[in-house]
Amino acid sequence: MAEYSDLLYDASGGIATITLNRPERLNAITLAMLTSLSAALREADHDRDVRVIVLTGAGRGFCAGLDLKDQMAGTGIGGDGANLALARFDLAGSPPVVLHTTDKPVICALNGAAAGYGLDLALGCDIRVASSQAKLAAVFTKRGILPESGGNWLLPRLVGWAKAAELTFRGMTLSAAEALEMGLVNRVVEPDELAAATQELAAEIAANAPLAVQATKRMMRLGLEETFEANVHHVFLQLLPLFQTEDFREGVRAFLEKRPAEFQGR
């Protein structure tokens, strides 16, 4: 298992848990953490034993965004003295893109505030379970920037144009209850119930046929950008190899025998 900067990585029982681990800075993101987070997500996505990924934060915050102290000191993103107008940005390996292209389901356990970059990370996950003390802070315009790491694309698709516009133009901060009402989180639990509730949800997903779950996510992702007819054809082409898997045969046997299926991912 790789060593990661300011991240904790644990994989067991088909669930990989990635924990942002700078609690003294509310898990504000550094350049080293960006590289580590992409690598950890890739490790989990490529590990055949991992079926679900959980992303969370240590301490009382999920992620306070990019570390502004680094930015002001010139050691953050774009702070190497280079002419940014001439720089070549290769974002294919950046956490938001890696997160978006990860086939394994990703659950965000929002243990505290998610602001700026942290909000975009949370929105990039497939499912969000929030502590009642969590906050979602779309404060980009209050800092002179925009949702740069997926938020501009994700928010209108998650809540519709008008709500996304108000949320971002005003630079609003939502409580967990307000985020639930708006549809930005799936459920809200008490802080001491967050870990157990997230693990229970992850285990329920992990018990299903992993190849089918991953294909479903992949087709849903493609469906955001293609026509209905194109998606129906792509889904059919994904279905054909699934019919040939041992998991499909096990699913049918389990149904006929009225017992829980035991999927092997093959």
State both tokens at 147: 């949702």
pTM, entire model: 0.91
In the prediction, which pLDDT does 2 show? 72
* C-alpha dist (Å) from residue 17 to 69, 75, 108, 198: 28, 29, 10, 10
The matching CATH number, chosen from 1.10.12, 3.10.450, 3.30.70, 1.20.1070, for 210-256 is 1.10.12
Least confident window among 6-20, 95-109, 141-155:
141-155
Q: Whole-angstrom Cα distance, residue 232 to residue 228? A: 6
pLDDT digits (tens, 9 = 90+) for 23-55: 999 999 999 999 999 999 999 999 999 999 999
pLDDT per position as a tens digit, 208-240: 999 999 999 999 999 999 999 999 999 999 999
Other beta carbons within 10 angstroms of residue 69's beta carbon come to: 12
Is the separation of the CB atoms in 22 and 4 below 8 Å? no
pLDDT band at 89 (very low <50, low <70, confident <90, very high): low
Neighbours of 201 (CB within 10 A): 19
pLDDT, residue 39, reads: 96
The domains spanning 7-206 and 210-256 adopt the same CATH topology = no
Q: Are 137 and 173 in contact (CB under 8 A)?
A: yes
Q: Where exactly are the structural domains of the chain?
A: 7-206, 210-256
The overall average pLDDT reported for the chain is: 92
> Is the Cβ–Cβ distance between 57 and 20 less than 8 Å?
yes
pLDDT surpassing 50 at residue 186 = yes
Distance CA 70, CA 128 (A): 28
Distance CA 51, CA 213 (A): 9
pLDDT digits (tens, 9 = 90+) for 231-265: 999 999 999 999 999 999 999 999 999 999 999 99
**pLDDT surpassing 90 at residue 92:** no
In angstroms, the CA 186 to CA 167 distance is 18
pLDDT at 76 over 60: no
Give burial (CB, 10 Å; 0-12/13-18/19+) of 19: buried
38-47 burial: b if 16+ Cβ within 10 Å, else e: bbbbebbbee
CA atoms of 55 and 27, how far apart (whole Å): 12
Residue 81 confidence class, pLDDT cut points 50, 70, 90: very low
Q: Is 7-206 CATH 3.90.226.10?
A: yes
Predicted pLDDT of residue 5: 86
* Residue 120: strand, helix, or coil: helix
In the block, which residue shows the tokens 């580590």? Answer: 36
d(CA 18, CA 122): 13
